[in-house]
Amino acid sequence: MRNYFLLTIVFFSMIFSCKNDNTQARVEVKTTTFQVDHEVIVDNLDIPWGFVFLPDGSMLITEKEGILYHFKNGKTTQISGLPEVKLQGQGGLLDIELHPDYENTGWIYMTYASPEGPGNGANTALMRCKLDGTSLTNVEVLYKAEPNSRRGQHFGSRIEFDNDGLLYFSIGDRGNRDVNPQNIERDGGKVYRLLDNGRIPPSNPFVRDRNAKKAIFSYGHRNIQGMIKHPETGDIWTHEHGPRGGDEINIVEAGLNYGWPKISYGINYSGTKFTDYTAMPGMEQPLHHWTPSIAPSGMCFITGDRYPEWEGNLLVGSLKFQYVNRCVIRDKKVIAEEKLLSGIGRVRSLKMGPDGYIYVGVENLGIVKIIPKK
């Protein structure tokens, strides 16, 4: 199935702002036109939370409901052998990523809501495994957040590797904003960093803190559902959901506090305030934020020569407004944005494919490829 979209490329005039208030560069619309096709590559998917390309060009796709699919040669096959996945609110089978040396190691990494461990309910776990035909083998749980909770919010989660082969993954605040994100002795509201085998890197920022969770890399996050390594600098970029307003893009660094919920550009869903501050000493400012919230999910940088005008741009999916958001970056600032595939559905995941095309996971649709028109 192929559809044609006439995309309006939106450029922004800049409104200058003070770092500590609620304004930043905003849009004044000027238009040119650019056409792309989109083609559904994998159909009949519900919530394709994450997907990866295997060396042969086939895909592994995580469905939130707790199903792992292998898509190859036009056929979708269910893979067996997953650990128990708890379907609880926003929790389920979440992200998937390959080891950077997958062809030699065979390791596949996934995050999911797990009922294992103390407490009722579930919390986010990270596992690794290998694929043998239509089954998973060598399943190992590398990290399990504790305690479990019956709350259905904010499991995260995304996975990424850096240039040194260190593994990063996110866990949301689990709906416990006033306790988890600012406390390094508790799980939740954090980015974590591990060796590829699940051990703690000796360079982690809190390894010498007796009571801290040693896997923590950064803290003060609400619910990160986008994470990507910058193709040139190697920095780890993330985005996270705000409440009503205040979705953020950040570059995470070791030991830094990203402020949630002490500082935020958002408010409660009811319209009331939970903080009077958008900045405090010792807390990082986002490099970009959205108000109203776009509900970001999925994230990738555009690389290769398929989209020469967009080289180096950042793509972010919007669940709320159902489009792909293209961000033009200059000096670690978003200077322009464009809405792609408006109205296509809730965009859950994004990936650059081995063929150089952009692939998009869309809820209740499937995996879509974006093809520029000549």
Residues labelled catalytic: 154
- Per DSSP, 314 falls in state E
Backbone angle region of 89, left / alpha / beta, with phi > 0 → left and psi within -120 to 50 → alpha? left
The owner of tokens 């560069």 is: 25
Q: What residues does 297 pair with on adjacent strands?
A: 317
Within 8 A by CB and 6+ apart from 85, the residues are 66, 92, 93, 112, 113, 114
Do 139 and 106 contact (CB within 8 A), yes or no? no
Structure tokens at 97: 């990523």
Q: List all residues 6 or more positions away from 184 whose beta carbon is below 8 Å from its beta carbon.
A: 190, 206, 209, 212, 213, 216, 219
Q: Which of 296, 238, 240, 273 is nearest to 22 (CA)?
A: 273
